[in-house]
């Protein structure tokens, strides 16, 4: 399973990269706004900076909602760097745009996916990634992880190439569950990635190893 970080914060991206396990980055308009990035030129420049830090895929989302405008914006985003993946919302125009991008060699991430039916449409249109939003489904008292399992089963039966990118992750536990459920990729906040490192028995065990070594070696 690939690990993406879900942020537009350059320091967090650098920190995640320093762990040696980072495969890519996802952003969305809310995450860009959180960093105070505004105006088309600044947005493009910020994506360029992220692509200079990370070799793996960087999802950059279109703001346009109408087909022709999505194509124009997506083409411009794809020209920023070879590792840009154009993120497109799951709408009728979005699916049509994904089909256009697929036929023109532009990789895509179909975002805002909340059902297996939507995931089938994304795969049919040729999306590189499909992003089911786990946390937001759980927030509605449904089971986000069940959706990952369902999509994984369908994609295996139908032999779709689209990779399942578990998004809207809120905890380290969900990362493990996404791996169990058949996600190809998980995108998560830095804290959820860091949470995977820690176990009290690791700390206790290491302290004992070092104490035993010190007893003999001084």
Would you please indicate which residues are annotated as catalytic (active-site) residues? 87
Tokens of 207: 């302290």
Number of C-beta neighbours around residue 50 at 10 A: 24
47, 7 Cβ separation under 8 angstroms: no
- Per-residue b/e over 7-39, b at no fewer than 16 CB within 10 Å? bbbeebbeebbeeeebbbbbbbeebbeeeebee
Tell me the C-alpha to C-alpha distance, in Å, between residue 80 and each of 6, 10, 72.
19, 17, 13
Q: Using the 8-state DSSP alphabet, how is residue 162 labeled?
A: P
Answer yes or no whether residue 51 interacts with ligand E4P by CB under 6 A: no
Q: d(Cα 85, Cα 100) in Å, to the nearest integer?
A: 14
Of residues 80 and 137, the one with the C-beta less far from ligand E4P: 137
Of residues 100 and 133, the one with the C-beta less far from ligand E4P: 133
Answer yes or no whether residue 57 interacts with ligand E4P by CB under 6 A: no
The footprint of ligand E4P on this chain (CB under 6 A) covers a number of residues equal to 11
Of residues 7 and 149, the one with the C-beta less far from ligand E4P: 7
Q: Which stretch binds ligand E4P (CB under 6 A): 132-140, 173-181, 191-199, 204-212?
A: 132-140
Answer yes or no whether residue 167 interacts with ligand E4P by CB under 6 A: yes
Answer yes or no whether residue 168 interacts with ligand E4P by CB under 6 A: yes
Answer yes or no whether residue 177 interacts with ligand E4P by CB under 6 A: no
Instruction: Enumerate binding residues for ligand E4P (CB under 6 A).
Output: 6, 26, 28, 111, 131, 133, 135-136, 167-168, 187
């Amino acid at each position: 399973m690939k690990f993406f970080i879900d942020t537009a914060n350059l320091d967090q991206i650098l920190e995640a990269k320093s762990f040696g396990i980072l495969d890519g980055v996802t952003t969305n308009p809310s995450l860009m706004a959180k960093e105070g990035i505004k105006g088309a030129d600044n947005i493009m420049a910020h994506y360029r900076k992220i692509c200079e830090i990370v070799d793996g895929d960087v999802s950059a989302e279109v703001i346009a909602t109408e087909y022709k405008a999505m194509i124009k914006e997506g083409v411009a985003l794809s020209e920023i760097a070879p590792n840009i993946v154009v993120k497109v919302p799951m709408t009728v125009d979005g699916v049509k745009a994904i089909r256009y991008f697929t036929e023109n060699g532009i990789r895509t991430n179909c975002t805002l996916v909340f059902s297996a039916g939507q995931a089938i449409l994304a795969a049919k249109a040729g999306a590189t990634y499909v992003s089911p939003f786990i946390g937001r489904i759980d927030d509605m008292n449904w089971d986000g992880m069940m959706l990952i399992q369902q999509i994984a089963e369908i994609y295996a039966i139908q032999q779709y190439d689209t990779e399942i990118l578990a998004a809207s992750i809120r905890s380290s536990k969900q990362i493990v569950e996404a791996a169990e459920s058949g996600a190809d990729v998980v995108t998560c906040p830095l804290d959820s990635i860091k949470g995977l490192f820690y176990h009290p028995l690791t700390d206790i065990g290491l302290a004992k190893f070092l104490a035993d070594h010190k007893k003999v070696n001084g």
